[in-house]
Amino acid sequence: MITLNNQSALVTGASSGIGWAIAVALGKAGANVAINYHLDQEGADRAAQEIRREKGRAFVIQADVSDEAQVASMFQETLREFKALDILVSNAGIQKDAKFVEMTLDQWQGVLGTNLTGAFLCAREAARIFLRQGLVPNRSRAAGKIIFVSSVHQAIPWAGHANYAASKGGMLLLMKTIAQELAPYKVRVNAIAPGAIKTPINRKAWETPEAEDSLLKLIPYDRVGETQDVAPVAVWLASDQSDYVTGTTLYVDGGMLLYPGFRTGG
């Protein structure tokens, strides 16, 4: 069983969906967890209660990850609470969908601001802390771990979602570049790229039988994913069991990246 005892984590966008499940899983593995939310404090409080129910330590903190000052304050508060930081899960993300020719600048900048600039701001703040702390062998073999929650759409084009796909494609090379830069300092940087997961952000794609049947045509494994399919992957990437893994994306997608349309010819 993986344990993250004596380690502290910050999970952004953790009031629902994948972020919520990851925060709870990290807490159950023994980590102290700072649970970030933007608007949904009730959801963040539920995650903290779930961790405390298992005798873990958690607190919730509000911040808009696209705002540099709010990000800096969030990390400072996390350090005041836990005295150290070992794990960042950069999960906060939004969608503002539109056909490309109808997409507004607000829709473009809003998604890029949260999904990509937010990932940059949080990763930069975490990296600064990790480098300042240095290696603490009794906590982890790494000086720090950064885990981005990306999407299969860092690789698969998605008509009607140009802003979202661009943000996740940018995240891919952000992850790889800083993994390369930070590896000599024993800071590991990786990403998880979920496929279709049952979360509030994509409810319309799976909440009716008809919608789910249509979605399953894209998933060779023939089921829509759950948040619990993703959370254990984050725990593993945060642990010493993955100490030689950096600069990698783990796809949790039921085979969506296998281009299932080619099953019937090509």
Q: Which two tokens stand for residue 251?
A: 């796809």
pLDDT-based confidence at 209, cuts 50/70/90? confident
**Confidence category of residue 43, pLDDT binned at 50, 70, 90:** very high
> What's the pLDDT score for residue 1?
82
Q: Is 164 one of the annotated active-site residues of the chain?
A: yes
What is the C-alpha to C-alpha distance for residues 186 and 232, in angstroms, rounded to an integer? 22
State the average pLDDT for the chain: 96
Query: For 104-133, what is the mean pLDDT?
Result: 98
| Tens digits of residue pLDDT in 154-192 | 999 999 999 999 999 999 999 999 999 999 999 999 999
Report the pLDDT averaged over residues 200-205. 78
DSSP the chain: ----TT-EEEESS-SSHHHHHHHHHHHHTT-EEEEEESS-HHHHHHHHHHHHHTT--EEEEE--TT-HHHHHHHHHHHHHHHS---EEEE---------GGG--HHHHHHHHIIIIIHHHHHHHHHHHHHHHH---TTT-SSSEEEEEE--GGGTS--TT-HHHHHHHHHHHHHHHHHHHHHGGGTEEEEEEEE-SB--GGGGGGTSSHHHHHHHHTT-TTSS-B-HHHHHHHHHHHHSGGGTT--S-EEEESTTGGG-GGGGG--
Please, which pLDDT band fits residue 98 given cuts at 50, 70 and 90? Answer: very high
Is residue 31 within 8 A of residue 9, CB to CB? The reply is yes
> Where is average pLDDT lowest: 47-56, 102-111, 153-162, 211-220?
211-220
Per-residue confidence at 14, pLDDT binned at 50, 70, 90?
very high
Count of Cβ atoms closer than 10 Å to residue 5 Cβ: 9
Q: Is the pLDDT at 207 greater than 80, yes or no?
A: no
pLDDT at 206 over 90: no
Q: What is the pLDDT of residues 236-265, one digit of tens each?
A: 999 999 999 999 999 999 999 998 888 877
Q: With a cut of 90, say whether residue 99 has pLDDT above it.
A: yes
Nearest CA-CA partner of 32 in 83, 91, 93, 92: 83
Catalytic residue among 37, 164, 185, 221: 164
Strand partners, 147: 89, 190
pLDDT band at 266 (very low <50, low <70, confident <90, very high): low
63-68 long-range contacts (CB < 8 A, ≥24 apart) are: 63/12, 63/36, 63/38, 64/38, 64/114, 65/12, 65/13, 65/36, 65/38, 65/90, 65/92, 65/114, 65/118, 65/119, 65/121, 65/122, 66/113, 66/114, 66/117, 66/118, 66/121, 68/121
Which pLDDT belongs to residue 118?
Answer: 98
